Structure 1
Amino acid sequence: MEEYPGTNGCVDTVRRSRHAASDCISGTSDRLVVVVGPCSIHDPKSAMEYAKRLKCEAERFKDDLVIMMRVYFEKPRTTIGWKGLVNDPYLDGSFRVNDGLRIGRKLLRVINNLGVPCACEFLDMLTPQYISDLVSWVAIGARTTECQPHRELASGLSMPVGFMNATSGDVDVAIDAVMAARHPHCFFSISKQGTAAIVHSKGNEQTHVVLCGGKAGPNFDDKSVKSCLEKLETANLTQGVMVDCSHGNSMKNHRNQPKVIASIVEQIKAGSKVCGVMIKSNLFEGRQDLPSQDALREAGIVDSRPTDALDRSSVESPVMKAGLLRYG
């Protein structure tokens, strides 16, 4: 953090986008949060090229969308595989984590200086201490939503946090996580100096559910979204829900993402409290394996402009043109 401190530009981008996202999630803003970008970051140079293009789109749709770049440095694995830029930044099994942290923080600083907010998934409990001040929105993944330490971590973060439903598709665990993270907690962590510390969190009221599908199938449809919202209401939680257009909701086929978006648009048009979407996108379509086969280098999902799926016949029609207020 001392090597790559946050600049005034970074601070402004983070502050502005955190407030904007929070307003969307709570329903006080009629804009839509859009977390869009590569599945994971493996090459800072291509990530910067993507960020520059995304900045143009963010400016273009700023009155209707709060666009954040997906900047994921950690990869949860069902079994084994490349665990992300922080864990193995050179993709060669050298696991130079110190370099990974520096590369990641430096990239976040540069992207924020462009005026593009960053969204990350926090997988381990230590990495956030080194990069969280440069992150505007956080995901807690399907594999870790039930994990108590991650709920405690979320309770102490200063930005909106989305809890994904379980890998089985169970939404109840995500709602439980939201409720838990909204309360104060006391837990072990580390200080900014890297020493063991006891942390007392205040609770994070900016937490919400992310529907990402699961083994039981997609859950982006109107019935599934309504069911989730009804459960939230029963738990006295009034915030909107976010829908991940990839993963289980796309049946792990990136070409299905526009279909998911089209469904969400119709639901928003009908007044559904969908506060945001997540989309996987990159400079080029596809993915490639490392020669060693020991790690995956996921290098792209959707080519062309990263927000193509959001404009024209989809979001532009009911949201951008009609100025639809989603929360009534």
Structure 2
Amino acid sequence: MLAEITTDSVVENSPGDIGGQYRTHAATTPHGLMSELPLSRAAARSVSDGRLLTRRVLSGGDDRLLAVVGPCSIHDVNAGLAYAKSLGELAADLADDLAVVMRVYVEKPRTTVGWTGLLTDPALDGSLDVNHGLRTVRTLMLEIAEQGLPIATEWLSPSAPVYLADLISWGAIGARTVESQVHRQLASGLPMPVGMKNGSTGSVDVAVDAIRSAAAPHTYLGVDRDGRAVTLRTTGNPDCHVVLRGGPGRPNYYPENVRETARLLAAAGLPTGLVIDASHGNSGKDHEQQAVVAREIGAQVAAGNTDIRGVMLEGFLIPGRQELGLQDPVFGQSVTDACMGWDATVAVLHDLAAAARQRRAVTAAAR
């Protein structure tokens, strides 16, 4: 059953002085943006098919392996579209064994300060034109969805889903926000599977708690498609799951970590399927180490582990990262976390596809 949201109007939003150190700027309404950039029939089919596919893989109803792959954060629309074209072709080649979803991450959580992502700072210069960012991001996602490629994103701003959720097949709540009541409430009303990352300290318990919370109904203050403040009432999201991403100096992709996470989930009365992030704490943020981690995860899958339902990878056209503001920026290279390059990504995805095929053979032989 899909998570659902109903709304009761509370008060009209109005610009002006709201006190404190805030300044307000009128934002385009979700209805206005969606009327300007409507969901096409092809994009709607892509999103619907992508949600169904990810649900089936994550629930174990489909024995393929989910692969959520793409840039740490997209900063260049043209590079993002070029990557999507190549990834879409590769996804089609590997479709018997992998369910590929593209990372289209447009909000960047920061430990302190820094570029906050294409949604809030599309010019990459601190001008923070959110209205332009919303149009840029929705246009990008529409073009990718119309290619038939399912889209994944991390939900950071509680107001972003009302503008973009109709384009997303898989969502994530990050390590910094997984303990946030606001984000647990948000996830409870999202109409797609949502991965809850283990906490930034490495704690998996907080992700399990987040799944239990998001599965329950919630009532909270939000915004509707007309931009009004409303009471949102959710029915709960039954498709949340753990994403293991490691902690400071403590990877958690090893077999013993997978077993312990499955034990925690089972003890909480939850399904034991999980996703493993090969980047972040599991690779020590070393983009070259991601391939090593992914192959070790693949070895567990090939040996018949059925709790591992998916793998996350940070990849872009060119390996590594670059600083913002370069006079001659490198096309297709990350400006946030360093990513695997395209050639390495292709090799890793082929290896994961082979692991999924081997798992299928192992489980069939065990019947």
Determine if the TM-score, normalized by the shorter chain, exceeds 0.5: yes
CA contact (8 A) 2:303 2:362 kept: no
Q: Which residue of 2 aligns with 1:323?
A: 360
Counterpart CA distance in 2 for 1:135 and 1:223 is 32
Deviations 1:102-147, CA, capped at 9 Å, x for gaps: 0000100000000111100010100111000000000100000000
Partner of 1:277: 311
Aligned to 1:301: 339
- Pick from 281, 289, 296 the counterpart of residue 248 of structure 1: 281
Q: Secondary structure at the match of 1:36?
A: strand
Matched position secondary structure for 2:105: coil
**Equivalence for 1:223:** 256
- State the match for 2:15 in structure 1: none
CA contact (8 A) 2:287 2:320 kept: no
Preserved contact between residue 220 and residue 233 of structure 2 (Cα < 8 Å): yes
Whether the 8 Å CA contact 2:287–2:338 is kept in 1: the answer is no
Contact 2:247–2:282 under 8 Å retained in 1? yes
Gap change, CA 1:96 and 1:56, over 3 Å in 2 = same
Equivalent residues in 2 for 1:1-328 (5 A)?
A: 1-272=34-305, 273-291=307-325, 297-298=335-336, 301-305=339-343, 306-311=345-350, 314-320=351-357, 323-324=360-361
For 1:70 and 1:237, the matched residues in 2 are separated by 26
- Deviation of residue 297 (structure 1)? 2.2
Match of 2:16 in 1: none
Unaligned runs of 5+ in 1: none
TM (norm. structure 2) is 0.85
Deviations 1:194-213 (A, max 9, x none): 10010110100000000000
What code does the residue aligned with 1:115 have? G
Supply the RMSD in Å over aligned alpha carbons.
Answer: 1.7
Q: Which residue is equivalent to 2:17?
A: none
The Cα shift of 1:326 comes to 6.4
Match of 2:329 in 1: none
If you compute each CA radius of gyration, which structure gives the higher value, 1 or 2?
Answer: 2
Matched residue SS, 1:276: strand
Question: Structure 1 residues 26-35 or 269-278, which shifts more?
Answer: 269-278
Letter in 1 for 2:58: I
Contact 1:119 1:136 in 2 (8 A): yes
Query: Displacement, 1:260?
Result: 1.1
Contact 2:223/2:229, CA 8 A, preserved across alignment: yes
Q: Which amino acid aligns with 2:103?
A: R
The 3 A distance-change label for structure 1 pair 66 and 316 is closer
Letter in 1 for 2:107: E
Cα-to-partner distance string for 1:133-177 (whole Å, 9 max, x where unaligned): 000000100000000010000000000000000000000000000
Give per-residue Cα distances to partners, 1:28-67, cap 9 Å, x unaligned.
1101110000110101000000000001111001111110
Contact 1:86 1:101 in 2 (8 A): yes
The sequence identity of aligned pairs, in percent, is: 42
CA–CA separation in structure 2 for the residues paired with 1:4 and 1:317: 39
Q: What 5-or-longer segments of structure 2 have no aligned partner? A: 1-33, 327-333
Deviation at 1:2, TM superposition (A): 1.1
- Relative to the length of structure 1, the TM-score reads 0.95
Given residue 49 of structure 1, which amino acid in structure 2 is its aligned partner? A
Provide the C-alpha distance between the structure 2 equivalents of 1:85 and 1:326, rounded to a whole number of angstroms: 43
Deviations 1:84-103 (A, max 9, x none): 00111001111000000000
**Closer, same or farther in 2 for the Cα pair 1:239/1:18, shift >3 Å?**
farther
> Contact 2:175/2:198 (CA < 8 Å) preserved in 1?
yes
**Residue-pair matches, total:** 323
Cα 1:123–1:17 change in 2 (3 A) is same
Letter in 1 for 2:347: D
